[in-house]
Structure 1
């Protein structure tokens, strides 16, 4: 015992202190042995990971399963940039472990988070060329692919809904959608109701998928057409409620004509159609006085130059082209003054005229038909001035020209008109005559090769103009200083198609003497106007830039019509213009337009792309510079299995050294 009365501790002997040190060393080296064993097992894993299946998670998520035998996938190697899709873009990924059937088999579910909803039903997922996914043994996922179905979640987008008239009761209905559809519903309401579906429409693909059909309304009245809904081929539906109207009006105007039924030569009289009515309104009023005078307007004032029965015809049309015509017979009596003109036709080639001069131009024409008629040409009428209060008697004959005319002028004579007016002075004569087209074709001449010649101390050509045309003949007008013998001469030219000249517009009659004007019937048929070319200069623009768009249109139909040219940026209309194109003709129109600020996309004309608006500054691209960094000191450390084993051994050695040093300190070493 010690001096204090306590028992004295005896230090353990050396043999007793050291017997458990080997046990402690084995215990501390056990994790190292396990790590070496597991590293050896990992080193034996040579199987590559496998693709599983791909399924739809939601509208913006694709779930892809990946599996590995004999080890685990290295989830740190799974990045969004590893995956490539046939539609859409992977914005982010998330990885979760899944239970895989079979021993020693592990798996993960990779959720591919997309940047937006897809407009495609089937999407194929694969690795990018630069992508790499490995397991912990370094085996790479093969470059294969999997396909997911049911990803289309974008509803059909509205592009256009138009109802255009074909005739009074029939319309062309057109629906434009951004993608093909499998269901369509158009509601028709009005005097009768109907519902239209896709079965009656024809599909035409392009920048916009267009569905068209013709529809005939069963009874007159105003109709409302409503584009209700569409469904695409993958079952995505959308409702629009876009409305158009159509008026079925087959009723012609109720024409009322007012004015005298009797008048005298030279007296101004007024005729009116102001009381004409139509339930849709009167759009136009057209008058024909006699055989050749055409006037427009609700009211007209005319004076008849010769006695006899004259027809006054009025035709009224509504806005839909329905017309009605009324004719009034007006009896014109001589006024017993110096203005009287009397025409007596002995036969087709001879006419006698008696008149009292007025000092002004007087018109010589029978109540009906032409003045005199020849084999190839006809003198329709004659206007001439005789001295005031002097009586004149004229004899007008049509003959066949003799060979002397051709020898003197080098022209072929078609018709000869002899005008014998006695000794009374005649001035300022105007001849209106016709030449048969067959006569022109017989000598291979164009219509403008015709000239009227006057025989006055030799043959003198007169200024001759085309005044009108018909299918069978050409109408001419020529002025002469007096009366004598006249011959219609034709200069022979190369044969051409005479019918091509029929398209020229008739000349307008002068105020003093109405010209013979061809009365054309109302147009029949349908317009068919197409945009044949559209360009933009410049075609590559930035927001705010200005461009000039040129549009060429052609009417391939049989009637004149209007076409609404639409200039759009993506689906937004920038401007429109209505262009009228006659049947068989072409027209060109131009738009000068600035692109709105902060807007990009395709610039189109009627859906046809003519340019692009981009946000680029237009400068040359600057290549990205490589990043410059300080080398990692551990970058030389070996990776893979060797690196793992060496790293484990180093960690265990450091840990064992620390424990042994602490124990030695505790034991007093």
Structure 2
């Protein structure tokens, strides 16, 4: 019996197995039609995406809306690095679809997550030059910008709080904040109570915004002033507890003068105010002899050059600014000798002097002002004793000290005075000279570091004392056994010889930030503040170029204090800043400063050299390395409508090939 099967059954089975082929053909056709439709729609979308608006999400988020007509934005092209802000930096982005009114219109909300809070109310958002945000058709978002307001979330930072005396009952109150403010509050406590707000303060802008006013206390006593809080222009408030004190004492010193009422021409006489008393102590003693001689100190010694009645007036001040004066009239008679002194000044640096000696101390001074003037100070006058009835001719010159002086003495020479007096001997000379405060600041020296040296074989230091002070200079007095060449020397400190050139971050000026709420009270002891490090970046620069100087200060004392940081180019001060440093702590401040045009030399911070300004600061430029990329074969494919059409045709060809291949299989080829 044969095992052959029924032909009808075979045909039926074959038909059942091939029922899916029409379904496959239909699916391929639908895919082909979808591809062509998609390509046609994309080809029709030629509209670029549009910017919407920008709003504040929170303190560190900006919401930006983008829209597209005729298609959808390609969210994969939206990156954090695409966006540029006028304040702050975008750290990350988050994209969310939103409803957009209009046919075939779509939109997204891009949340820009900032790195940190910004200190600016209005922030403008724009695309970087290299950024490219597109829709699915490849149309780019235009390079425009939108602005969001209300982003300032940074509280005002404390810079300074100072109370200085105007007179016995009035103080000048100064508050320094890092940004403009709309309100501040200062509490006044003591015999009377008051609260001050910003309405009485005047504003001065700069690296620090300073608010200043004067305040007159209503009655005598000790007052405490407390800086309570400040509020910036965008409503951010910060609270403090910074305290200063003020003593209102209107009692003047009780001035007592001791000295002769009679004297002889050329005779040295002494006046003293040492017995003056005041319940707050004596702060200063100032003498006026005649109409133009000003001296300071408890005791003075003078010699009158002419007979007659001469007034000697002493004015004593206490630490609170209260003063009182007493005048003593001295009757001066002639001594029977000549004692005439004549001064001629052909220029500011030279004086020719004729002296008819009296055997006693004679004053040599110019009625026009200083005897001679140098770059860093003056020789105001000198006194010396010449033999009686002998005529002496002196030539006094102001010159620059030589480098040999520094080598021989270890002091920096700031002024030099050459005195040629011929063969006539001179004894018991007294010099009164000045040194500019700017000069002392430029070499990082205190007023007490100045000494007058005499050249007599070698360099001999002379006893030198401070005789007076003014805002621009310090007055000194020194005694010498004779006349020759003299140099005003300033003691060199360790900091003066250090060449500190190191890198620093390029940022704006800043100081240590206090806590949001803090309390500072008077501390016992004394502050000891010094500059421990100072750097400039760049440290080698030319005139007119900009550098950033970072200065670190340390308070090694036992009380909080202020230090005035001085930045100078050679002997010219460029800028200063007062920095408050608590006991046992360090503070850092920065200066961003452009150098003066047409000026070169050493750039110093408190006498510490941090850089050089030279006429040619530049080096050889380093060329940038070329960027070598690997070409992408697909980059040859055309963009825009042509590329879309070619893509559609390729899809049609692939679809037809799939249909023909299926038919061939179906027919058994």
Q: Tell me what 2:86 maps to.
A: 86
Q: Tell me what 2:142 maps to.
A: 142
Q: Tell me what 2:614 maps to.
A: none
* Mapped contact 2:284–2:316 kept (Cα < 8 A): yes
In structure 1, C-alpha distance between the alignment counterparts of 2:188 and 2:587, rounded to whole Å: 40
In structure 1, C-alpha distance between the alignment counterparts of 2:231 and 2:252, rounded to whole Å: 42
Displacement of 1:279 after TM fit? 2.6
Q: Tell me what 2:527 maps to.
A: none
Q: Tell me what 2:624 maps to.
A: 623
The alpha-carbon distance between structure 1 residues 249 and 72, as it changes in their structure 2 partners (threshold 3 A), is same
More off after superposition, 318-327 vs 204-213: 318-327
* Mapped contact 1:222–1:248 kept (Cα < 8 A): yes
The residue correspondences of 1:583-602 to structure 2 (distance < 5 A) are: 601-602=590-591
2:648 matched to 1:645?
Answer: yes
Displacement of 1:182 after TM fit? 0.9
Q: Tell me what 1:33 maps to.
A: 33
In structure 1, C-alpha distance between the alignment counterparts of 2:125 and 2:71, rounded to whole Å: 24
In structure 2, C-alpha distance between the alignment counterparts of 1:57 and 1:540, rounded to whole Å: 45
In structure 2, C-alpha distance between the alignment counterparts of 1:213 and 1:90, rounded to whole Å: 41
In structure 1, C-alpha distance between the alignment counterparts of 2:48 and 2:575, rounded to whole Å: 63
The alpha-carbon distance between structure 1 residues 572 and 644, as it changes in their structure 2 partners (threshold 3 A), is farther
In structure 2, C-alpha distance between the alignment counterparts of 1:218 and 1:106, rounded to whole Å: 70
* Mapped contact 1:56–1:63 kept (Cα < 8 A): yes
SS of residue matched to 1:10:
helix
Q: Tell me what 2:236 maps to.
A: 236
* Mapped contact 1:49–1:134 kept (Cα < 8 A): yes
Q: Tell me what 1:174 maps to.
A: 174
The alpha-carbon distance between structure 1 residues 289 and 39, as it changes in their structure 2 partners (threshold 3 A), is closer
Q: For 2:335, which of 382, 387, 407 is the aligned residue?
A: 382
Q: Tell me what 1:67 maps to.
A: 67
In structure 1, C-alpha distance between the alignment counterparts of 2:127 and 2:565, rounded to whole Å: 53
* Mapped contact 2:171–2:214 kept (Cα < 8 A): yes
The alpha-carbon distance between structure 1 residues 315 and 190, as it changes in their structure 2 partners (threshold 3 A), is same
In structure 2, C-alpha distance between the alignment counterparts of 1:125 and 1:236, rounded to whole Å: 23
The alpha-carbon distance between structure 1 residues 95 and 598, as it changes in their structure 2 partners (threshold 3 A), is farther
The residue correspondences of 1:40-439 to structure 2 (distance < 5 A) are: 40-254=40-254, 277-283=277-283, 317-324=317-324, 369-370=331-332, 380-382=333-335, 429=337
* Mapped contact 1:381–1:431 kept (Cα < 8 A): no
In structure 2, C-alpha distance between the alignment counterparts of 1:281 and 1:165, rounded to whole Å: 16
In structure 2, C-alpha distance between the alignment counterparts of 1:128 and 1:69, rounded to whole Å: 23
The alpha-carbon distance between structure 1 residues 164 and 652, as it changes in their structure 2 partners (threshold 3 A), is farther
Displacement of 1:67 after TM fit? 0.9
Q: Give CA deviations for 1:538-583 in whole Å, capped at 9, x if unaligned.
A: 9996357778xxxxxxxxxxxxxxxxxxxx956966894599xxxx
Displacement of 1:68 after TM fit? 1.1
Question: RMSD of aligned C-alpha atoms?
Answer: 6.1
Displacement of 1:77 after TM fit? 1.9
In structure 2, C-alpha distance between the alignment counterparts of 1:291 and 1:10, rounded to whole Å: 145
Q: Give CA deviations for 1:376-396 in whole Å, capped at 9, x if unaligned.
A: xxxx3317xxxxxxxxxxxxx
The alpha-carbon distance between structure 1 residues 529 and 103, as it changes in their structure 2 partners (threshold 3 A), is farther
In structure 2, C-alpha distance between the alignment counterparts of 1:645 and 1:200, rounded to whole Å: 76
* Mapped contact 1:87–1:123 kept (Cα < 8 A): yes
The alpha-carbon distance between structure 1 residues 208 and 327, as it changes in their structure 2 partners (threshold 3 A), is closer
SS of residue matched to 1:167:
coil
In structure 2, C-alpha distance between the alignment counterparts of 1:157 and 1:119, rounded to whole Å: 11
In structure 1, C-alpha distance between the alignment counterparts of 2:209 and 2:324, rounded to whole Å: 42
The alpha-carbon distance between structure 1 residues 284 and 37, as it changes in their structure 2 partners (threshold 3 A), is closer
Displacement of 1:190 after TM fit? 2.1
In structure 1, C-alpha distance between the alignment counterparts of 2:39 and 2:316, rounded to whole Å: 102
SS of residue matched to 2:243:
strand
The alpha-carbon distance between structure 1 residues 147 and 611, as it changes in their structure 2 partners (threshold 3 A), is farther
The alpha-carbon distance between structure 1 residues 67 and 251, as it changes in their structure 2 partners (threshold 3 A), is same
Q: For 1:542, which of 492, 503, 506 is the aligned residue?
A: 503
In structure 2, C-alpha distance between the alignment counterparts of 1:600 and 1:382, rounded to whole Å: 63
2:1 matched to 1:12?
Answer: no
In structure 2, C-alpha distance between the alignment counterparts of 1:86 and 1:327, rounded to whole Å: 67
In structure 1, C-alpha distance between the alignment counterparts of 2:271 and 2:223, rounded to whole Å: 38
SS of residue matched to 1:129:
coil
In structure 1, C-alpha distance between the alignment counterparts of 2:139 and 2:146, rounded to whole Å: 20
Q: Which runs of 5+ in 2 are unaligned?
A: 260-269, 302-310, 345-350, 370-380, 392-425, 431-468, 474-497, 505-532, 537-547, 555-561, 577-585, 595-602, 612-616
In structure 2, C-alpha distance between the alignment counterparts of 1:632 and 1:83, rounded to whole Å: 26
The alpha-carbon distance between structure 1 residues 192 and 648, as it changes in their structure 2 partners (threshold 3 A), is farther
Q: Give CA deviations for 1:160-207 in whole Å, capped at 9, x if unaligned.
A: 222222222222222222221111112222222221111111112222
The alpha-carbon distance between structure 1 residues 295 and 59, as it changes in their structure 2 partners (threshold 3 A), is closer
* Mapped contact 1:121–1:151 kept (Cα < 8 A): yes
In structure 2, C-alpha distance between the alignment counterparts of 1:142 and 1:294, rounded to whole Å: 75
The alpha-carbon distance between structure 1 residues 654 and 115, as it changes in their structure 2 partners (threshold 3 A), is farther
The residue correspondences of 1:598-609 to structure 2 (distance < 5 A) are: 601-602=590-591
The alpha-carbon distance between structure 1 residues 219 and 38, as it changes in their structure 2 partners (threshold 3 A), is same
Displacement of 1:73 after TM fit? 0.7
Q: Tell me what 2:544 maps to.
A: none
* Mapped contact 1:469–1:475 kept (Cα < 8 A): no
* Mapped contact 1:381–1:432 kept (Cα < 8 A): no
The alpha-carbon distance between structure 1 residues 571 and 272, as it changes in their structure 2 partners (threshold 3 A), is closer
In structure 1, C-alpha distance between the alignment counterparts of 2:186 and 2:95, rounded to whole Å: 47
In structure 1, C-alpha distance between the alignment counterparts of 2:21 and 2:293, rounded to whole Å: 135
In structure 2, C-alpha distance between the alignment counterparts of 1:233 and 1:117, rounded to whole Å: 16
Q: Which runs of 5+ in 1 are unaligned?
A: 260-269, 302-310, 329-366, 371-379, 384-428, 441-447, 455-459, 487-509, 515-525, 531-536, 548-567, 580-586
* Mapped contact 2:165–2:172 kept (Cα < 8 A): yes
Pick 1 or 2: higher relative contact order, CA cutoff 8 A, min separation 6. Answer: 2
SS of residue matched to 1:116:
coil
* Mapped contact 1:452–1:478 kept (Cα < 8 A): no
The alpha-carbon distance between structure 1 residues 94 and 589, as it changes in their structure 2 partners (threshold 3 A), is closer
In structure 1, C-alpha distance between the alignment counterparts of 2:138 and 2:287, rounded to whole Å: 96
The alpha-carbon distance between structure 1 residues 285 and 54, as it changes in their structure 2 partners (threshold 3 A), is closer
SS of residue matched to 2:176:
strand
* Mapped contact 2:359–2:386 kept (Cα < 8 A): no
In structure 2, C-alpha distance between the alignment counterparts of 1:29 and 1:239, rounded to whole Å: 74
In structure 2, C-alpha distance between the alignment counterparts of 1:294 and 1:644, rounded to whole Å: 99
